[in-house]
Amino acid sequence: MKKVLIITYYWPPSGGAGVQRWVKFAKYLREFGWEPIIYTPLNPGFSITDQTLLRDVPEGITVLKTPIWEPYEAYQRLMGKKTAPSITDHAAAKKSTTSLLHKLSVWVRGNLFIPDARKFWIKPSVKFLKKYLAENPVDAIVSTGPPHSMHLIALQLTRMQKIPWVADFRDPWTDIDYYKEMNISGFADRIHKKLELNTITSCDALVVVGREMKANYEALGATNVKLITNGFDPHDMDVVDLVMDSKFSISHIGTLPPSFNMVHLWQVLAELAMTDPEFKRNLEIKLVGKVQGAVLNDIKSYGLLDHLNAMGYVSHDAVPRIMKQSAVLALIINRDSPNSTGILTGKIFEYMASGRPILALGPVQGDLAKILNETGTGTIAETNDHDEIKANILNLYQKYCDKKLNSSPSAVTKYTRQNLTKELANVLNQLVD
């Protein structure tokens, strides 16, 4: 069996979307002739943990860990925080506070920690892995980012070892919504873009998660770009003794920072609740995950607080039940992001597999719209298109009243984690062969 070294910052018991892609690849790689070897930090600063994801880690897998030093520890002490800040925390802080310390932390993150605050793990990791690979050869190396420091570890290793290298971009590097929020200087911007270009042109294959990201990186000079989307694991979607919500529940799964605030959705729901007493009695808004205060303030200002069920973070194994029992699943794409038309959030695929209709807000000509149309799993309206959002909600609500509110997905099996892992194995086999 061939061996692949996977360099990833996120690994169970880390929670959140960032870890799921590669723990699922690792789960199924053996079926396609590849033995995964994981390299990850010993003491990472996770903001979310999820012990249930450990169930997906293959038995007997080699997981290499070395210590990492992260400057977020100093940030936590300065700000009195218990957990490491995320990128969205930094961006939200920039918009919502005049604190000099917040502004300084944002500037430092964008201009001194290049490409990110895990840069201090690059040198010791290269030293450790160089010795490890000399004694334990592998057939290929994969790095996955963000954080994009993982790619720089692989870049240095492959220059020394001449091992085929796949760089996996779960998100773009500089073409991402929070990049412009980091107060990056012209000098720092040039360094970020030079490192990005070195990565996409030096790797033997570049794997991306969306069609538009593929086209953008090919335009920048990447030559062997492969599209492997995120997906869903059918085993995760098995739910027994399911009881559907009696109310017209609109559920959003995942973090809701200010940049993802569904303002026009709140406006429409408030308007319908004010004019239709029956709609008001039936409405429930479920928010599963971390929700920023600005979002909660807007929900309150529109008089929707009595309809809100803010559930906070729940473990990944509990999410399918919430999805399947909901009436409708809400999803928003940040329209202000420079790559908004190319964004495909990881949860969209589990949404599709849940069998519940999707109410999406985002670019109607983007990658998300194409997949919704292709699979027949939901509707999409521009984030500020009040009338279209209202029409979509009224259509869904009428089906709810008629007890005909179901999704009839088609062509979703291509997005199973097992099928996607087969595509990854094919990429690895092409490089080795």
Per the prediction, the chain carries an average pLDDT of 91
Confidence band for 93, pLDDT divided at 50, 70 and 90: very low
When mean pLDDT is compared across 169-173, 312-316, 381-385, the lowest value belongs to 312-316
Which pLDDT value is given to residue 110?
A: 81
Secondary structure of residue 423 in the 3-state scheme: helix
**Is residue 57 assigned to a domain?**
yes
Instruction: Say whether both 295 and 224 belong to one domain.
Output: no
Q: Domain containing 286 — which CATH number?
A: 3.40.50.2000
Which pLDDT value is given to residue 80?
A: 53
Cross-strand partners of 244: none
Which residue segment(s) compose the domain that 33 sits in? Answer: 2-231+417-432
| pTM summary value | 0.88
Instruction: Say whether both 151 and 281 belong to one domain.
Output: no
Instruction: Say whether both 30 and 137 belong to one domain.
Output: yes
Radius of gyration of the chain from its Cα atoms, rounded to whole angstroms: 22
Whether the CB-CB separation of 101 and 107 falls below 8 Å is answered with no
The pairing of strands 140-145 and 2-7 is parallel
Instruction: Say whether both 27 and 140 belong to one domain.
Output: yes
**Is residue 409 assigned to a domain?**
no
Instruction: Say whether both 238 and 227 belong to one domain.
Output: no
Nearest to 415 by CA among 359, 374, 364, 357: 374
Instruction: Say whether both 196 and 87 belong to one domain.
Output: yes
DSSP string, 27-81: HHHGGGTEEEEEEEESS---S-B-GGGGGGSPTT-EEEEE----THHHHHHHHT-
Instruction: Say whether both 163 and 278 belong to one domain.
Output: no
pLDDT per residue over 327-359, tens digit each? 999 999 987 777 788 888 888 999 999 999 999
